[in-house]
Structure 1
Amino acid sequence: MKKIILPALIVVLLTAACKKSSFEDSGVNDPRFNGTIMEYLESDPLYFDTLVRVVKYAGLEETLRKENLTFFAPPDPCFKKILDAVNDYQLTLGADSVTRFEQVKPEVWKQFLDIYLFPGNRGLKDYTQVDTLALDTYKGALFESVNTTPMNIGVIYNDAVSGDPNTVGGSTIIKYKGYRQLMLSYVPDEAFPYSNWINAVVAASDIAPTNGRVHRLRYMTHIFGFDPFRFIQAARERGIDYTKQ
Structure 2
Amino acid sequence: MEHFKKTFIDLVSPLLLIICFFSACKRDEYYKDGGLAKGKFQGNIIQYLSSKPKEFDSLVQIIKLAGLDKTLSDEEVTFFAPNDVNIKALIGRLDQGGVNRRLYNEGKDTIKVLSDVDPLIWKKFLLRYIYKGKNKLMDYPQIDFGQQVIYPGQIYYAYGNTVANIGVVYNDAGGVRYMGYRQLHISYIPDISRPADNWRTIRVSSSDIEPNNGIVHVLEVSGNQLGFDQGEMENDISDSKR
Whether 2:162 is the aligned partner of 1:149: answer: yes
Worse overlay, 191-200 or 204-213: 191-200
Amino acid at match of 2:139: D
**Which runs of structure 1 show a deviation greater than 6 angstroms over 4 or more consecutive aligned residues?**
none
Partner of 1:194: 196
Partner of 2:236: 234
Q: Is the 8 A contact 2:185 2:203 kept in 1?
A: yes
* Aligned counterpart, 1:138: 151
Aligned-partner Cα distance in 2 for 1:158–1:192: 28
Match 2:141 to one of 123, 128, 143 = 128
Residue 71 (structure 2) aligned to one of 63, 68, 78: 63
SS at match of 1:231: helix
Distance in 1 (alpha carbons) for counterparts of 2:99 and 2:126: 25
Amino acid at match of 1:102: S
Alpha-carbon distance, 1:93 to partner: 5.7
Match of 1:118 in 2: 131
Larger Rg over CA atoms: 2
Select which of 42, 52, 58 maps to 2:50: 42
> Percent same amino acid among aligned pairs?
37
- Structure with the largest fraction of helix: 2
Q: Out of 202, 210, 223, which is 1:221 matched to? A: 223
Question: What is the rounded CA distance, in whole Å, between the counterparts of 1:80 and 1:206 in structure 2?
Answer: 25
Distance 1:91 1:224, change over 3 A: closer
Partners of 1:101 and 1:115 in 2: CA distance: 19
Query: Structure 1: 5+ residue runs without aligned partners?
Result: 1-25, 162-172, 241-245
2:37 maps to which of 26, 29, 41: 29
- SS of the equivalent of 1:136 reads coil
1:164 counterpart residue number? none
CA contact (8 A) 1:82 1:224 kept: yes
> Hey, what's the Cα distance between the residues in 2 that align with 1:197 and 1:233?
19
**8 Å Cα contact 1:57-1:102 kept in structure 2:** yes
User: TM-score by structure 2 length?
Assistant: 0.79
Q: How far off is 1:94 after superposition? A: 4.0
Task: Note the residue ranges of structure 2 that are not aligned, 5 or more in a row.
Answer: 1-33, 105-109
- Give the CA RMSD over aligned residues: 1.9
Mapped partners of 1:52, 1:29: distance in 2: 24
TM-score (norm 1): 0.78
Q: Secondary structure at the match of 2:206?
A: strand
CA contact (8 A) 1:27 1:203 kept: no
What's the CA shift for 1:73?
Answer: 0.3
Distance 2:165 2:36 in 1: 24
Counting matched residue pairs gives 204
3-state secondary structure, aligned to 1:35: coil
The CA distance in 2 between the partners of 1:115 and 1:186, in whole Å, is 8
Structure 2 distance, partners of 1:79, 1:92, is 16
Say whether the 8 Å CA contact 2:95–2:101 is kept in structure 1.
Answer: no
